[in-house]
Chains A and B, each alone.
Chain A
Amino acid sequence: MARRILPGFPLALGITLVYVSIIVVLPLGALVFKAASLGFEDYWRIVSSPRAVASYRVTALSALAATVFNLVFGMALAWVLVRYRFPGRRFIDALVDLPFALPTAVAGIALTTLFAENGWFGSVLAQAGIKVAYTPLGIMVAMAFTSLPFIVRTVQPVLEDLDPALEEAAQTLGGSDRSIFLRVILPLLAPALLAGLSLSFARSLGEFGAIIFIAGNQPMSTEITALLTFIRLEEYDYQAAAAIASVLLIAAFLMLAVTNILQARALRYTARG
């Protein structure tokens, strides 16, 4: 092996592998093992039951909607925080991390109170005929709340490092604001956006605490997959719980794999050659 200047490689790698094994691989392995102890037919029967499928649908669609909402709103927030100087900027910047710091159950209860039909927002929305609490819309709101920081915090540093000369160059070449945004800024933000998007979506798929308070949890309509897993656990049906959880696991894993591929493609220009 080539001699290294930087010290500590064997020790650092050893510690890392041990931690990853204990904290990540072991629990996930146990989950897969438990699910695999079902025969294929049983497994399929559990994961394709109408109640489970309905939970996937509401979870995935809400997560998708929340992620799209965050993509737009998170990027706008990051843009404002990086590009403009205004009183209260630091305060808003700090506020962005709040969904990370706040216990999700607290967030869920707060959102439920706000969006319930007698709540501040809920009462106004009710007049417009929009019901948020105890509907899929409520699930979306909770997901959007808890995963907002991902997009802001991944886009923000990239936006900060973006050389203003690039936009100036595009302007001197006659580019309109729209074409500069679409052809210069957006492609350069794309890798960061994808990273934030995949984290935000994965977090939304797995969110539990904030959602169960606002969702209503009606089987077949507002029951999320994570809750269904929890219900199976409460029933001591560990194998069914593992089977349903494995679907979430596979979905999250596939999604991360796809975004990684997309990200590598968006970054192909950084390859040296």
Chain B
Amino acid sequence: MKIRLDNVMKTFETFRAVHGVSLEIESGELVALLGPSGSGKTTILRMVAGLEYADAGHIYFGAEDATDIPVRDRSVGFVFQHYALFPHMTVAENIAFGMKVSKVRRDKAAIDTRVTELLRLVQLDGLGQRFPGQISGGQRQRVALARALAVDPKVLLLDEPFGALDANVRRDLRRWLREIHQELGITTLFVTHDQEEALDLADRVVILDKGRIVQQGTPEEVCRNPASAFVMNFLGDTNRFSAAVSGGVARLGDAKIPAPGFADGPVEIFLRPSDLGWSHAGEGIAATVARVIDRPAGRRILALTATGEAVELDVAPETVVSAQQKGVITIERARVYAAA
């Protein structure tokens, strides 16, 4: 089912959480709402679910205006950050809840069959009689998903679904959710503040800041072409420099960075650690190594430029470098934004 938000607004007391957001999610698409805390992403998700009412604007499910449909009639599946499993019900009872309270009468055998089917889908066969307190966090999250799917929702909404889990479990669950989505083809919208999670999982990423959409696109589009300094900064580690453009070229140390289309004047230059290299001589920014951090994929150098600015850069694991060494930071790629 296609979802469309048309200029949706929400204010909490004096705080405007969402400023006129318009967004389309195609049927079967997996979309991430990505943003820092306070960006309004969860509020948007809750408005789509019907757990908050929009102050202005409309939300459409397909052709139907769903803005004023109460949550219990909206047939959305919602997965909460902290699972919100009913602690006094077994895993199987949790999954069956939606079918039991539904206006559509189902006989017990049909419910049991569906529960078994869903337990298999979320790979929890045999755990149906456990209570939520007796299973791990990752398993609880999968129960929550099975419970949401049990009522055949038109849309699946997930609020920071993996926020409370260990890094390893999180990665596994992400891949697994992607597979489930592929299998069921249900329109899915999820909220996260973790850019890695959004890029890993989503067909399309919607980046929010202060209640507004700042960029949306495929992971490739937003990574390769961040629309603003905010997006650049938010998507990953960056080094920021102020520089001046003259004649379409910005200068950083003795490196020249092309800045076509920028008028002469101050600009901001953003450099990712992987856009930089370390060399003993050459064109670039003269710097001194302050510290080297070793990581499985390579080495990260924390360096200080001659003017005292801290720069982080990633180099290959073989690179021989140590603290106090002097050298030059070379620039392979850079992004230039108008000075704020």
A-side residues, CB < 8 A to B, are 163, 165-166, 168-176, 179-180, 183-184, 187-188, 266, 269-273
Contact = CB atoms under 8 A, between A and B. Distances in A.
A163 to B, nearest CB: 6
Given A172-B71, A172-B72, A176-B101, A163 B77 contact: no
Contacts of B133: 269-272
Interface string B259-302: 00000000000000000000000000000000000000000000
B46 to A, nearest CB: 9
B78 A168 contact: yes
Given A171-B71, A172-B71, A269 B97 contact: no
Given A172-B76, A269-B131, A165 B84 contact: yes
A169 B98 CA distance: 10
Contacts of A168: 51, 71, 78, 80, 84
Given A168-B80, A269-B131, A174 B151 contact: yes
B308 to A, nearest CB: 48
A233 B77 CA distance: 68
B84 A171 contact: no
B80 A188 contact: no
B103 interface: yes
A269 B87 CA distance: 7
A191 to B, nearest CB: 10
Given A163-B82, A272-B133, A173 B51 contact: no
Contact of A188 (B77, B87, B150): B87
A175 B132 CA distance: 20
B88 A174 contact: no
Contacts of A269: 87-89, 131-133
Given A165-B80, A166-B84, A168-B78, A173 B101 contact: yes
A170 B133 CA distance: 18
A175 B72 contact: yes
B37 interface: no
B102 A174 contact: yes
A79 to B, nearest CB: 19
Contacts of B202: none
Contact of A183 (B82, B101, B151): B101
Interface in B137-171: 147-148, 150-151
Closest 5 CB pairs of A and B: A173-B98, A165-B84, A172-B78, A169-B84, A175-B101
B49 interface: yes
B324 interface: no
Interface in B54-85: 71-78, 80, 82, 84-85
